Structure 1
Amino acid sequence: METIGQGTFGKVKLAQHVATGEKVAIKIIEKASVTNDTQRNSIQREIRLVQLLHHRHIVKVYNVLEDASTVYFIMEFVAGGELFDYIVENLSLSEWEARIFFRQILSAIDYCHKNSIIHRDLKPENVLIDSNKCVKIIDFGFGNTFHRDKFLSTFCGSPFYAAPEMIAGKRYVGPEVDVWSLGVILYAMVTGSLPFDAPALPDLFKLITNAQYKIPSKLSPDLTDLIRRMLTVDAKRRIKLSEVIKSK
């Protein structure tokens, strides 16, 4: 019916089932646009991951169809739009409303981590809100499985939400980089801005690796403390997701 979004490797179209009238979102990936083995492996991983994940705060993937030239992800259509647009429209969210959304996001990512899956591209553009204010995580194009005794080293996702160890080219296990990105999302919700922002990537990376950001005085002490613990440069000292969930 129309283009409604852009995924990591392809466009997302709104479609309607001819017989039932149900609306769905279809992510369409043209294989010709996938130019190397890394991208091909990423798409195959996404196909595998989305068929494993079943959680109320992760967008449902009904089917994955593939032919010689194209891959189609048939997904539930979430009518409310992106969390990013919601933040922009409201300038910022109250701590009370941000907490409601954030708890839902945490529930979805905790489910992923307990199933040894990391997202690696968490940002407000990849969080949808339905008509009932229910959050849905999308786009596992950079997702991967992880093992506690093994390390990853791929830099992926948006630089504004990337953890310091990622942009420094250091090895990481996985969940800790999602926690950092969640900290940036939380900051963005309650302030309406990004903690780290610069026009040039070298300047942005310097801000991130030194954790140079300001927390507005209007935020409550508990929220300020939580953001600081999530945006801790040393991944070993960074708060664990289980601790974030237990926080006030």
Structure 2
Amino acid sequence: MIITVASGKGGVGKTTTSANLGVALSKIGKKTLIVDGDISMANLGLIFNLEKKKPSLHDVLSGECDVREAIYKHKTGAHILPTSLSIEGYKKSDLDLFPEVISDIADDYDYVIIDAPAGLNRDMAIHLAIADKVLVILTPELFSIADGIKIKQSSEMAGTSILGAVLNKTGRDFGEMGVDEIEMIVNEKVISTIPEDENIRNATLKRMTVIEYSPKSPSSKAYMELALKIVGSYVDINKIEEVYNEGFIDKVKRIFLRFKK
């Protein structure tokens, strides 16, 4: 399944969600590729310390190498297709090749997570059209909600259905919009809420996903629950008795395998 992670505006946690969701899917046994689809303002590679790797997606989109040469297996188990920070790389890239590139490798993976650029433009239209599903990233703020509606409308125009909305950075403001209110406005289900968590910022500074940096943190648990929902084997991790008597990731993986039987 190809999932495009999209937002109408920057700064809502789209790249963080793409990285952590991809790692979470990998941790529960799904072969997952995370793609930095923002070829002009790439950030995903920074989280995985791959932004200087050659070749990158820029080289693929310029026809200089095969896409499989630009995919790297990370220590988390996830596969990463990074985009470089090079302006020259961006200038030589042909985004029209992107759908063909993704289609060529999609069958190699259970999930392909595309971190799309923010906003509504031609680049975003390509990312929405190539996807099987779109995951809309929101924060509990009016501008983010309004922009999320535009992403939903654009997805519908592209013929791609919405997987759901992820509500990021919750719990920061006493007066923030609630889940029920947001679902009514957007007319989509909020399938996950990710709490404001200083561990996310700390993990980014360490160039890690929060699942690696602090697997017991509230945000890590939320991302793992999101992954389980997406694969259709959701359990409420907070209600699992003595969940931390063994490694958190090992516990989740064991429960997931039990669900599959």
Fold conserved between structures, TM > 0.5: no
- Which has the bigger relative contact order, CA under 8 A and spacing at least 6? 2
Query: TM-score, length-normalised on structure 1?
Result: 0.26
Query: TM-score, length-normalised on structure 2?
Result: 0.25
Q: Return the structure number with greater helix share.
A: 2
